[in-house]
Structure 1
Amino acid sequence: MFNWLSLVTGFFYIVLGVVVIIYKFFFTILEPMVAYALGGLLILYGVFRIYRAILKIKNSGNEE
């Protein structure tokens, strides 16, 4: 269950990163370069969480 929740969380990080880049807002108005940097980091972290969750799901399927 935790692995599937990690997949959903990764997806939301990616969506949040895209929203920060488009609206340039994250609790306060951001400068464009800051918005791009923060949005990029959020997207990268979301991809990392999804990748890690997929690996754990595949490994748990092989152990059973």
Structure 2
Amino acid sequence: MMFNWLSLVTGLFYIVLGIVVIIYKFFFTILEPAIAYALGAVLVIYGIFRIYRAVSKIKKSKDEE
């Protein structure tokens, strides 16, 4: 159960990191705008995926109780 909540926090972290990469165009080094937008979008999408997966597992575990 704790893993699901940790996955939620991790998903939020990825979304925030993606937004920061898009705004500042920086990820360990200065990025070209096209690369920053692409990397930021991938990070945001992955964060949304992790949150969706964690929420579905939390709902499934509550249904089993």
The TM-score, its normalising length taken from structure 1, stands at 0.99
Summarize deviations over 1:1-28 as a string: whole Å, max 9, x none. 1000000000000000000000000000
Q: Residue 8 of structure 1 aligns with which residue?
A: 9
Q: Please, which runs of 5 or more residues in structure 1 have no aligned partner?
A: none
C-alpha deviation, 1:43, in angstroms: 0.1
How many residue pairs align between the two structures?
64
Partner SS for 1:41: helix
CA distance in 2, matches of 1:7, 1:20: 20
C-alpha deviation, 1:42, in angstroms: 0.0
The TM-score, its normalising length taken from structure 2, stands at 0.98
CA distance in 1, matches of 2:23, 2:6: 26
Q: Residue 31 of structure 1 aligns with which residue?
A: 32
Percent sequence identity over matched residues?
78
Partner SS for 2:9: helix
